[in-house]
Amino acid sequence: MNAGHAVRAGLLDVALAAAARGWRVFPISPGRKKPPAVRDWEHRATTDPARIERAWHADPYNVGIACGPSGLVVLDLDRPKPGEVPPPAYREPGIGDGGDVLAVLCEANDQPLPVDTYAVRTGSGGTHLYFTVPPGITLRNTAKRLGWLIDTRAHGGYVVAAGSTVDHRPYTALVDEDPAPLPGWLSDRLTDPPPAPVTERPTSTTAVAGSPSAYAAAALRGELGRVLAAIEGTRNHTLNSAAFALGQLVAAGLLPRRLAEDALTLAGQAIGLPARECAATIRSGLDSGGRTPRRPVSRDPQLNATPDHRPAA
């Protein structure tokens, strides 16, 4: 058996092994991460051994795993590129790659580090953590949604399988066990808030300006503006105050908590607050505000009353 045939056979074995796990695979250009010129790779990915053997018969293709059709979401914990400067919130000792950022995120949310799952060391030295997607949830790719140097691959994305080689650097399985279910708190962070239902089309500018959604949007912009304008010595207090105010709107059902969390996190990091401090302050403020819901002021006093203090008819 010559060297080229041995490489093809080895990659064929990689593809068949992935398919045996129920992961849909497709060929990637030899030695590269980019797939061949096939636009519908996500739909053509397969677990059929006969199709896989035909595809890998001619060339030593790398193996791509289509995450969405495989029921997978993969956390891509990357390493910084040469010369890349961390955002202010991550300029702390001990934070050097996506794995460290994930550890900080877990600590801030009082969650264990989710490492008991299938894991791959990438050619660049990063790590892929594989998880199964919770039933009834559709996840898509994200970029830095969970933090600096953390991307995710789900529907619309793929990963290079362990056993492939990119630029002469191998992808290697670090933990070879079945993927664990994606932790619920991570699933919550990766799920986009549902769009608000459309009940009636506004007929005037006044109607739009007076709507609860417009009220919440204006409040969100205002609180973020206060955070971004906070000066040294007042930043944490301002962030907590903003989180409290928005937590009142969350409790009233006017603002998705995820949207408030993400917007406040970005604002807090933009003014230089550390990641741990941001997460703890935002969570505390939102929880506190959630105990006293706030609604838009209306000309109708019946609408301004809280459920426990509604005027008698």
Name the nearest CA neighbour of 171 among 31, 27, 44. 31
pLDDT of res. 165: 96
Per the CB < 8 A criterion, the answer to whether 33 and 166 are in contact is yes
Which CATH fold would you assign to the domain 3-190?
Answer: Prim-pol fold (3.30.2250)
Tens-place pLDDT, residues 105-139:
888 888 899 999 999 999 999 999 999 998 899 99
Between vectors from CA 256 to CA 252 and to CA 259, what angle results, nearest 5°? Answer: 140
pTM listed for this prediction = 0.66
pLDDT of res. 294: 75
Tens-place pLDDT, residues 87-99:
887 887 888 899 9
Question: What are φ and ψ of residue 39, in 5° steps?
Answer: -70, -35
Give the lowest-confidence range in 77-81, 147-151, 198-202, 218-222. 198-202
Where would I find the H helices in 172-306? 184-190, 205-209, 212-228, 235-251, 257-270, 275-289, 301-304
**pLDDT higher than 50, residue 204:** no
> Which amino acid is present at 87?
P
Pick 12 or 306 by higher pLDDT: 12
The average pLDDT across 138-162 equals 94
Identify any residues that bridge with 120 across adjacent strands, giving them in sequence order: 128, 173
What CA–CA distance (Å, rounded) separates 196 from 220? 16
Domain locations along the chain:
3-190, 208-309
**pLDDT higher than 60, residue 151:** yes
Per the CB < 8 A criterion, the answer to whether 129 and 75 are in contact is yes
SS3 call for 15: helix
Pick 154 or 192 by higher pLDDT: 154
The single-letter DSSP state of residue 62 is E
